[in-house]
């Protein structure tokens, strides 16, 4: 942060496998521990080692809800990161780079794709600069950016000597050194960094010790080689440090599931969903408030078909059961989804959307599955689709999904995306005591034993909900089947029973629409009465909130209607807002405007403007703001595509 800006955008980039993620977590912890709020965004290729990845950490003394396009302090490993991001660094900002990358021809950077290279070469040609990192660094200096060459090898050699360890061992601290150089330039107290290391490597005193020594050398290096007074940005810790959680979206969902009583989770590895299940498996055993040990069984299955059907099988026994996947996996799960629908199985599917169709872009974000998810499956059956706009919502929604699944005896799909899954953020501590577990209508067996004769599991009721016994319960014997069935679950093709069953299942959604509280259907932000109405869903929320703040600074009032319940669609309560909307702007991360279509189909109201982004990257507040400003000023086409070639 400096006197002009209320926040700092730090970016670390380098080849995948070089520890970008670790560096970002250390930096994030080092600033969060000092009481800052932060918002982190992670971008990476579908690759194990070598391809370019980067991590943005935006820091402020107020809550942050999205990333920024521009960078204040860039730290890079290797020349590709330098090439890709140098031009995003603002005037007064800084670039930290490896001394070896100071003059690398762009043509020698193997993973810099032809399009990006051509763009950069054109940029350099306009400025009469050579096609190399030296050209980009020179351009940065001309724009008022400080450049800091760091000879990492010299520092790690010094560290090896100091600790009497092999150079290869000392080299493992390169990430810490990079972070420490950033922190030193920002004049951040190194003790926060040391605390961050203790959080990052718990129970590994030797690793911590070595890294602490590395920090000392890095700070020393910065102080002796750079004039930090030249650097505009600094981190001044909060006066009062409030404890906050620092976590990412996958963790928020996993913790919400645990709080919600998850006892059985299945998954087949798929980006970007896997981390949630891995995190759950790491926490298979946990304490409970009544002293009994808590646990969750996590099973890695052979495919997504198995994941969804195994989770269904577990749900039939009374376990709170879930699976997590991404679009391609969900495609495979669809037959199992239909089975859960006709059998009224309370099953939770967490779906992290990524760039699609088919394999698409496995590690990039998109909101391309909305229409698929609300309609997935052959035939008609009820399902509930929830979507969360930030990490806090993701936590509570993950817990609530089980309540909906059991209360309405339907599959519940919790629809998220890669952007949210990989968002790291400081959030206010979650209030677990506010979570209630509602198991819906359960069948209680008669005292004294095993009633003879089948139990009407699928009894026709006014609400559509039939009391549910668990497999293994005395007195509850019934059948389940993917075929249409009578009340005890025996296959039937009787036209009258068919109608009754279709209608009974459909009634559950009417009940859900009546019972689900309004703020779980949608939330309104900004100026509630402003006609300038933005409608969106999922992870775009943060960028739109920031855009609304920017509009406010321009004395433009706008409101955001954030849809949280995508199915059944809360059309009745939305109608008054839609009626008073002028203009009505729908914002989403896909090509066709899937929410806009749903809105029109369900309410008859069409969007006046559609703002979309489908390059696989999340929206920033800045780009949404610019698009909204143009709309407000009447200078916009009805369809606006957000683009950023440097992401």
Partner 1 sequence: MPKITAKDYRVEEPIDWCPGCGDFGILSALQQALAGLNLLPHQVAIFGGIGCSGKAQYYVNAYGVHTLHGRTLPYATGAKLANPDLTVIIVGGDGDGMAIGAGHFVNAGRRNVDLTYILFNNEVYGLTKGQASPTLPLGLQTKSLPEPNIQGNVNSLMLAITSGFTWIGRGYAYEVRHLVGLMQRAIQHPGLSYLEVLQPCPTYNNLHTRDWYAGKDLEDGRSRLYLLEEDGYDPVIPPGASSEMIAAKICEFTARAQEWGDRIPIGVFLENRSVPTFEERIGKRIPTYRMAPPARRPIADEDGRTITDLSGIFAELTMA
Find the binding residues for partner 1 in span 111-150 (CB under 8 A).
none
Query: Which residues in the 581-600 window bind partner 1 by CB under 8 A?
Result: none
Q: Residue 207 to residues 190, 417, 489: CA-CA distances in angstroms?
A: 17, 35, 60
Query: Which residues in the 145-204 window bind partner 1 by CB under 8 A?
Result: 199, 202
Using the minimum distance from each CB to partner 1, give the nearer residue, 25 or 44: 25
Question: Should residue 482 be labelled a site residue for partner 1 when binding is judged by CB under 8 A?
Answer: yes
Using the minimum distance from each CB to partner 1, give the nearer residue, 202 or 634: 202
Using the minimum distance from each CB to partner 1, give the nearer residue, 340 or 551: 340
Cβ 468 to partner 1, closest distance in Å? Answer: 13
Cβ 510 to partner 1, closest distance in Å? Answer: 25
Between 438 and 477, how does the x/- string for binding to partner 1 read (CB under 8 A)?
xx----------x---x---------------xxxxxxxx
Both structure tokens of 133: 């990192």
Query: Which residues in the 483-522 window bind partner 1 by CB under 8 A?
Result: 483, 489-491
Q: Which stretch binds partner 1 (CB under 8 A): 60-68, 235-243, 368-376, 609-617?
A: 235-243
What sign does the dihedral 620-239-244-13 (CA atoms) show? positive
Query: Which residues in the 1-20 window bind partner 1 by CB under 8 A?
Result: none
Question: How many chain residues touch partner 1 (CB under 8 A)?
Answer: 89
Look-up: residue for tokens 């951040």? 188
Among 126, 433, 493, 496, binds partner 1 (CB under 8 A): 433
Among 288, 379, 514, 529, binds partner 1 (CB under 8 A): 288
Q: Is 518 helix (H, G, I), strand (E, B) or coil?
A: helix
Query: Which residues in the 389-408 window bind partner 1 by CB under 8 A?
Result: 399
Question: Should residue 241 be labelled a site residue for partner 1 when binding is judged by CB under 8 A?
Answer: yes
Cβ 391 to partner 1, closest distance in Å? Answer: 11
Both structure tokens of 619: 């929206």
Query: Which residues in the 242-281 window bind partner 1 by CB under 8 A?
Result: 242-247, 251, 255, 258-261, 263-264, 266
Q: Measuring CA to CA, which residue among 168, 179, 160 is closest to residue 12?
A: 179
Question: Should residue 284 be labelled a site residue for partner 1 when binding is judged by CB under 8 A?
Answer: yes
Instruction: Report d(CA 459, CA 174) in Å as an integer.
Output: 65
Question: Should residue 45 be labelled a site residue for partner 1 when binding is judged by CB under 8 A?
Answer: no
Q: Is 482 helix (H, G, I), strand (E, B) or coil?
A: coil
Instruction: Report d(CA 400, CA 386) in Å as an integer.
Output: 10
Q: Is 298 helix (H, G, I), strand (E, B) or coil?
A: strand
Using the minimum distance from each CB to partner 1, give the nearer residue, 407 or 613: 407
Question: Should residue 478 be labelled a site residue for partner 1 when binding is judged by CB under 8 A?
Answer: yes
Using the minimum distance from each CB to partner 1, give the nearer residue, 50 or 313: 313
Instruction: Report d(CA 257, CA 287) in Å as an integer.
Output: 15
Cβ 445 to partner 1, closest distance in Å? Answer: 9
Cβ 7 to partner 1, closest distance in Å? Answer: 17
Please name the residues in contact with 156: beta carbons below 8 A apart, sequence gap of 6 or more: 167, 170, 171, 173, 174, 177, 214
Among 289, 378, 555, 635, binds partner 1 (CB under 8 A): 289
Instruction: Report d(CA 179, CA 512) in Å as an integer.
Output: 49
Does residue 325 contact residue 350 with C-beta atoms inside 8 Å? yes
Instruction: Report d(CA 456, CA 479) in Å as an integer.
Output: 9
Q: Which stretch binds partner 1 (CB under 8 A): 69-77, 332-340, 510-518, 547-555?
A: 332-340
Cβ 472 to partner 1, closest distance in Å? Answer: 5
Cβ 479 to partner 1, closest distance in Å? Answer: 4
Cβ 309 to partner 1, closest distance in Å? Answer: 4
Cβ 487 to partner 1, closest distance in Å? Answer: 14
Query: Which residues in the 296-325 window bind partner 1 by CB under 8 A?
Result: 296-297, 299, 301-303, 305-307, 309-321
Instruction: Report d(CA 92, CA 22) in Å as an integer.
Output: 27
Cβ 505 to partner 1, closest distance in Å? Answer: 17
Using the minimum distance from each CB to partner 1, give the nearer residue, 229 or 289: 289
Please name the residues in contact with 291: beta carbons below 8 A apart, sequence gap of 6 or more: none
What sign does the dihedral 61-62-63-69 (CA atoms) show? negative
Q: Is 31 helix (H, G, I), strand (E, B) or coil?
A: helix
Cβ 600 to partner 1, closest distance in Å? Answer: 34
Instruction: Report d(CA 190, CA 150) in Å as an integer.
Output: 18
Question: Should residue 426 be labelled a site residue for partner 1 when binding is judged by CB under 8 A?
Answer: yes
The three-point CA angle 154-158-163 to 5° equals 150
What sign does the dihedral 450-451-454-456 (CA atoms) show? negative
HSE-up of 356 (CA within 13 Å, CB side)?
23
Cβ 174 to partner 1, closest distance in Å? Answer: 24
Cβ 24 to partner 1, closest distance in Å? Answer: 14
- What residues are paired with 105 via a beta bridge? 132
Between 84 and 103, how does the x/- string for binding to partner 1 read (CB under 8 A)?
--------------------
Cβ 375 to partner 1, closest distance in Å? Answer: 19
Among 166, 287, 495, 645, binds partner 1 (CB under 8 A): 287
Cβ 432 to partner 1, closest distance in Å? Answer: 6
The torsion region of residue 130 among left (phi > 0), alpha (psi -120 to 50) and beta comes to beta
Q: Which stretch binds partner 1 (CB under 8 A): 137-145, 432-440, 506-514, 541-549?
A: 432-440
Using the minimum distance from each CB to partner 1, give the nearer residue, 505 or 617: 505
Cis bond upstream, residue 357 (ω within 30): yes
Among 336, 346, 355, 616, binds partner 1 (CB under 8 A): 336
Among 1, 9, 32, 210, binds partner 1 (CB under 8 A): 32
Does residue 640 contact residue 631 with C-beta atoms inside 8 Å? yes
Question: Should residue 290 be labelled a site residue for partner 1 when binding is judged by CB under 8 A?
Answer: yes
Q: Which stretch binds partner 1 (CB under 8 A): 331-339, 351-359, 367-375, 612-620?
A: 331-339
The three-point CA angle 498-504-510 to 5° equals 140
Cβ 171 to partner 1, closest distance in Å? Answer: 28
Please name the residues in contact with 601: beta carbons below 8 A apart, sequence gap of 6 or more: none
The three-point CA angle 380-381-382 to 5° equals 135
Instruction: Report d(CA 155, CA 195) in Å as an integer.
Output: 22
| Residue environment code for 37-46, b if the CB has 16+ CB neighbours within 10 A, otherwise e | bbbbbbbbbe
Q: Which stretch binds partner 1 (CB under 8 A): 160-168, 333-341, 359-367, 547-555?
A: 333-341
HSE-up of 506 (CA within 13 Å, CB side)?
8
Q: How far is CA 140 from the centre of its chain?
A: 32
């Amino acid at each position: 942060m400096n006197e002009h800006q209320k926040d700092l955008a730090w970016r670390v980039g380098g080849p995948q496998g070089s520890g970008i993620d670790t560096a970002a977590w250390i930096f994030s912890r080092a600033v969060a521990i000092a009481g800052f709020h932060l918002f982190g965004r992670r971008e990476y290729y579908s690759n194990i080692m070598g391809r370019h990845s980067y991590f943005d950490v935006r820091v402020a003394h107020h809550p942050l809800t999205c990333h920024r396009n521009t960078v204040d302090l860039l730290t890079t490993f290797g020349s590709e990161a330098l090439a890709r991001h140098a031009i995003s660094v603002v005037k007064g900002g800084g670039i930290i780079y490896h001394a070896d990358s100071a003059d690398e021809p762009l043509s020698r950077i193997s993973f810099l794709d032809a399009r990006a290279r051509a763009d950069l070469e054109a940029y350099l040609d306009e400025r009469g600069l050579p096609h190399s990192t030296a050209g980009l660094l020179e351009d940065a200096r001309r724009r008022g950016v400080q450049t800091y060459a760091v000879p990492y090898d010299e520092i790690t050699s010094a560290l090896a000597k100091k600790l009497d360890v092999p150079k290869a061992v000392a080299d493992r601290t390169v990430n810490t050194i990079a972070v420490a150089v950033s922190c030193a330039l920002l004049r951040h107290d190194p003790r926060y960094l040391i605390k961050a290391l203790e959080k990052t490597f718990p129970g590994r005193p030797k690793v911590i010790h070595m890294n602490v020594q590395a920090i000392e050398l890095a700070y020393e290096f910065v102080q002796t080689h750079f004039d930090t007074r030249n650097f505009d940005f600094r981190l001044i810790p909060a006066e009062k440090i409030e404890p906050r959680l620092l976590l990412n979206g996958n963790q928020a969902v996993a913790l919400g599931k645990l709080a919600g009583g998850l006892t059985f989770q299945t998954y087949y590895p798929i980006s970007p969903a896997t981390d949630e299940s891995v995190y759950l498996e790491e926490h298979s055993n946990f304490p409970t408030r009544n002293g009994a040990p808590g646990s969750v069984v996590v099973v890695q299955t052979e495919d997504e078909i198995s994941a969804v059907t195994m989770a269904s099988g577990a749900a039939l026994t009374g376990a709170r059961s879930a699976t997590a996947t991404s679009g391609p996996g969900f495609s495979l799960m669809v037959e199992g989804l239909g089975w859960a629908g006709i059998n009224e199985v309370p099953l939770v599917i967490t779906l992290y959307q990524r760039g699609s169709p088919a394999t698409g872009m496995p590690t990039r974000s998109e909101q391309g599955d909305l229409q698929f998810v609300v309609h997935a499956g052959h035939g008609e059956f009820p399902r509930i689709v929830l979507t969360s706009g930030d990490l806090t919502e993701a936590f509570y929604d993950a817990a609530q999904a089980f309540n909906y699944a059991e209360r309405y005896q339907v599959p519940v799909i919790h629809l998220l995306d890669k952007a949210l899954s990989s968002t790291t953020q400081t959030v206010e501590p979650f209030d677990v005591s506010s979570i209630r577990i509602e198991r819906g209508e359960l069948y209680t067996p008669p005292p004294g034993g095993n009633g003879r004769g089948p139990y009407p599991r699928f009894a026709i009721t006014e609400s559509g909900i039939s009391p549910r016994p668990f497999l293994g319960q005395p007195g509850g014997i019934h059948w389940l089947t993917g075929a249409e069935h009578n009340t005890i679950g025996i296959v039937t093709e009787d036209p009258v029973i068919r109608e009754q069953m279709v209608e009974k299942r459909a009634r559950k959604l009417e009940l859900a629409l009546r019972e689900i509280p309004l703020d779980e259907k949608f939330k309104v932000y900004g100026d509630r009465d402003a006609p300038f109405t933005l409608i969106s869903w999922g992870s775009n929320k943060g960028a739109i909130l920031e855009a609304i703040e920017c509009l406010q600074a321009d004395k433009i009032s706008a409101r955001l209607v954030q849809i949280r319940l995508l199915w059944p669609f809360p059309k009745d309560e939305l109608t008054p807002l839609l009626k008073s909307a002028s203009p009505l702007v729908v914002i989403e991360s896909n090509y066709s405007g899937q929410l806009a279509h749903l809105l029109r189909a369900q309410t008859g109201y069409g969007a006046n403007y559609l703002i979309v982004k489908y390059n696989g990257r999340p929206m920033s507040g800045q780009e949404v703001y610019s698009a909204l400003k143009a709309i407000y000023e009447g200078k916009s086409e009805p369809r606006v595509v957000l683009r950023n070639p440097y992401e």
